Amino acid sequence: MAKQLFASLAHPVKVRVPRPVLAIGGVLFLGLVIAGIWTVATPRPATCQGVCQCWYCPQYRYIGGEFFCDSPCDHGCAGACAYNDTYPQLGSCSQVPGQGGCGPVCNCRDSDCGGGPVPTENPPTPVVTPEPTPPPDCPLPGEVREWINLIPPRLTFAGYKPDHPVVVEQDPDKQGFQMHITGKGGRYEHKTQRLEKVCDDQPEPINGTPQPCREWHWECPIRCPECYDDPFAGIQIRMRLADSTMEWIQGELASRYTGAEPKEGLPRTWQLAGVNSQMNVDQWWIYAPGKPDVLSNGPLDPGIHGGKIVGWTTGTPKSAPQVVERAFSVPVYLMDTTIAK
């Protein structure tokens, strides 16, 4: 029985397959062969065709031929991929100093060029610093405000002493009186105002090359491109007796003192000394016998000694000389009466 079973297994087994089924199987096999050939023949595309991520530190120094960062290596720059189509895993990222915004100190991320895994998370949203807003009272961008100030000179009759001057013939000290005169010269100002950027965080230069400002704000300071002082060229004291005093001397006083008449020879004009080219004046001017000049008699006549203090300036390259006047009045008394005429 064993021999019969062995003999039956030794004969080939014949399987009958219908022709339609055989045709379909041949078509499927041929399709698989063509797909395999297409996959092998098609080159693998480069994962990175252009830029990749690099970093550099903005401040550094070389010691013994090696660089050392003095600041964090956190400044981004663009590198270039060196891709190998045959061996994609050998792709590398590199950068050339001075290109793509990179400094000489940099490290790069090769995974951008070596077909690394695609990140599953969204990249971080870049932080965009908004441009500062100009102050509300500043000119508009590109606008320039211009104006001119012509400041006039000033003179002040600041007082006199003593409190009650008397005629020199009745004054044993013959001190007369003094007038306090102060003044300030003029000024020409051509001013401008425009928006200006002011840097709040300026990096140090790299190899002598200035770096862009990291943070800034707007200001609109007032500039004075053409400003000139206008000092005094001279100051005069122009003195006369008041009209009321002249009438009093020639009338009431003449009736009391026969032959009474004005003796000083006023009006007269004197130059104030030491004021040429001065912006500030502060002087006590003396009116007494021999002062302010040898021809002065001082206050011989009682009554109101008044008039004007007149000053004028030198002018500037942009403005003409200016004139300023200030009135003054000093009462001079007789010992036996008070005169306010």
Residue 155 has pLDDT above 50, yes or no: yes
pLDDT tens per residue, range 298-337: 999 999 999 999 999 999 999 999 999 999 999 999 886 5
Residue 46 has pLDDT above 50, yes or no: no
pTM score of the predicted model:
0.58
Give the pLDDT of residue 120.
64
Q: Is the dihedral angle over the CA atoms 285, 291, 295, 297 positive or is it negative?
A: positive
- Neighbour order of strands in the sheet with 154-161: 154-161, 177-184, 280-287
Q: What's the mean pLDDT when you consider all of the chain?
A: 83
pLDDT tens per residue, range 55-90: 888 887 777 767 778 888 888 888 887 766 666 556
Task: Name the 3-class secondary structure at 68.
Answer: strand
pLDDT tens per residue, range 91-111: 678 777 666 677 777 788 877
Residues of the chain with pLDDT > 90, as a percent, come to 53
Token pair belonging to 286: 């003396």
Q: Report the distance separating Cα 260 and Cα 250, nearest Å.
A: 7
Query: Cβ neighbours of residue 165 under 8 Å, at least 6 residues apart?
Result: 175, 176, 177, 299, 330, 331, 332, 333
Give the pLDDT of residue 2.
42
DSSP string, 240-270: EE-HHHHHHIIIIIHHHSTT----S---EEE
The residue ranking higher by pLDDT, 78 or 244, is 244
- Neighbour order of strands in the sheet with 75-82: 92-94, 75-82, 51-56, 106-108
Instruction: Classify residue 251 as exposed, middle or buried by CB count within 10 Å of its CB (0-12, 13-18, 19+).
Output: exposed
The residue ranking higher by pLDDT, 177 or 106, is 177
Mean pLDDT of 223-234: 97
pLDDT tens per residue, range 279-296: 999 999 999 999 999 999
Give me the helices (H) in the chain, please: 2-10, 19-41, 243-248, 254-256
Is the separation of the CB atoms in 278 and 231 below 8 Å?
A: yes
Q: How confident is the model at residue 172 (pLDDT cuts 50, 70, 90)?
A: very high
DSSP string, 78-117: EEEEE--SS-GGG-EEE--TTSTT--SSEEE-GGGTTTPP
Backbone angles phi, psi at 230, to 5 degrees: -125, 85
The residue ranking higher by pLDDT, 265 or 101, is 265
